[in-house]
A and B are shown apart, each in its own frame.
Chain A
Amino acid sequence: MSFLYENLFALTWQQVTMWVIGGILIWLAIAKEMEPSLLLPIGFGAILVNLPFSGAVNQYISGLFQEGPLSSLYEAGIANELFPLLLFIGIGAMCDFGPLLANPALMVFGAAAQFGIFFTFCLGSMFFATNDAASIATIAAADGPTAIVVAQKLHSIYLSPIMVAAYSYMALVPIIQPPVIRLLTSRKERQIRMDYEPKSVSKTTRILFPIIITVISGLISPASVSLVGFLMFGNLLKECGVLRGLSDTAQGAMANMITLILGLTIASQMQAEQFLKLDTLMIMGLGLFGFVFDTAGGVMFAKLLNLFLKKKVNPMIGAAGISAFPMSGRIIHKMGLKEDNQNFLLMHSMAVNVSGQIASVVAGGLMLSFFL
């Protein structure tokens, strides 16, 4: 009867700690509804792979190699960057660039909000090798697929904590951003109203936009062209108007499927012996720092612009320049309504948010150009 309990003695406190971490992620997903499509599979997967001799991941048991399905999924879809890139097609199909195309000047906020990436790189370089610091800094892009692709291409040894940090913080945007914004803005600034006048954007512009961005980004940073290309291909599916079925599949079933597999696969890298290290804590800390400084960069840039603009912008929209789409745009809209129930910032914040999507990929591409 010893087979019923012998595995229990192989359990380590590190594995139990990972169960607790997994439990917290599941709790956040269910009770707080924070990115449940990501946090639930990651949380459950963290428990799954931290059972003694878990068959879900590759193991050597009594000297014999046993292949685990989650490790196979990792090799099939993350080690070669396939899953994050496929997810980008879905994200591209979800993005409506219309408000940004109607007001392209808002793109500057997306660029400004990438400050945290480059600043975090400088901080990280004090503790980590250059390629690792650059990969860790990309967590601040608030863009899981970009973080994975950059870390893979730069051969960072910290891919697993980077993935976990990137996706966890994306889910925690509603907790991280509001206090930073409130700290940097006065109530009066948060109440600044921004009128929105709908402008017409031609279908030709909507169709040519993804193609032009791919060409421009590809010429400037060829290493990142797969990132931009897949994102823009998804958008072209949506905007071309003749592939509604494919567009719906990309932003619905396919994106859900990839997210599900991605979440579980990320969890395969959360085995206690790899994950519970001081380095991981540092990476989580640097990632959080990057998020805060991305938000601050966007807000401070908007405040700087207000010194010169006659028609002031609400500095909160600068914070939407991070890539967490559409959470960040919605948060800014809600914060605006909280300060003044007639202040509708949604169209502006969403335009800045999609520009952040593009800017984060560009910033990731620049990191690759610098260090590849």
Chain B
Amino acid sequence: MNFTPINFVNNLPYILKGELGTFIVLGVIALSVVILNKLTHGDDDQLS
């Protein structure tokens, strides 16, 4: 285990990449659900 503080700065872009990636994937999934809900509305609906 070595202490290399510069790695913190070098890896900061991963926070942006990671969070952005997660938001995009979840966003695509949410959008799919919205479309799915619209397409299948009234088809054996169950309250949630």
Residues of A within 8 A of B (CB): 96, 98-102, 104-105, 107-108, 110-112, 114-115, 117-119, 121-123, 125-128, 130, 133, 198-206, 208-209, 212-213, 216-217, 220-221, 278-279, 282, 355, 358-359, 362-363, 366-367, 369-370
Residues of B close to A202: CB separation below 8 A: 37, 40-46
A358 to B29, CA, bound (A): 10
Measured CA separation A206–B46 after assembly (Å): 10
Per-residue A-contact encoding for B22-45, CB less than 8 Å = 1, 0 else: 110111111111101100111111
Q: Verify B23–A370 contact, CB threshold 8 A.
A: no
Chain A contacts of B3 at CB under 8 A? Answer: 126-127
B36/A208 in contact, CB under 8 A: yes
* Extra inter-chain contacts (13) besides given A200-B45, A367-B18, A370-B14, CB under 8 Å: A112-B19, A114-B18, A114-B19, A121-B18, A122-B14, A125-B8, A127-B4, A205-B33, A208-B36, A216-B25, A279-B1, A359-B22, A362-B22
Q: How far is the CB of B37 from chain A (nearest CB, A)?
A: 6
A sample of 19 inter-chain contacts (CB < 8 A) reads A104-B29, A107-B27, A108-B30, A111-B25, A127-B3, A127-B4, A201-B46, A202-B42, A202-B45, A203-B43, A205-B37, A206-B46, A208-B36, A209-B33, A212-B29, A212-B32, A220-B21, A282-B1, A359-B26
Question: Interface of chain B, helix or strand or loop or mixed?
Answer: helix
User: In the assembled complex, how far is the CB of residue A131 from the closest CB belonging to chain B, in whole angstroms?
Assistant: 13
- Chain A residues lying within 8 Å of B31, measured Cβ to Cβ, are 104
Q: Compute how far the CA of A53 lies from the CA of B1 in the bound complex, rounded to whole angstroms.
A: 29
Closest to B18 in A: A118
Q: With contacts A108-B26, A358-B29 known, is A126 near B45, CB below 8 A?
A: no
Chain B residues touching A, range: 35 or more
B1-19 residues at the A interface, CB under 8 angstroms = 1-5, 7-8, 10-12, 14-15, 17-19
Measured CB to CB, the residues of B under 8 A from A are 1-5, 7-8, 10-12, 14-15, 17-19, 21-23, 25-34, 36-37, 40-48
Give chain A residues whose Cβ lies under 8 Å from the Cβ of B41: 200, 202
Complex: how many Å from CA A95 to CA B8? Answer: 36
List of A residues within 8 angstroms of B14 by Cβ: 118, 121-122, 370
Asked if A99 contacts B48 (CB within 8 A), the reply is yes
Give the docked Cα–Cα distance between A367 and B22 (Å).
11
Task: Tell whether, in the assembled complex, residue A98 and residue B46 are in contact, meaning their CB atoms are under 8 Å apart.
Answer: yes
Docked pose: A123 CA to B18 CA in angstroms: 15
Select one of A107, A198, A209 contacting B36, CB under 8 A.
Answer: A209
Is A213 a contact of B29 with CB atoms below 8 Å?
Answer: yes
Cα–Cα distance between A263 and B18 once the two chains are bound (Å): 30
Whether A204 touches B26, Cβ cut-off 8 Å, given contacts A118-B14, A279-B1, is no
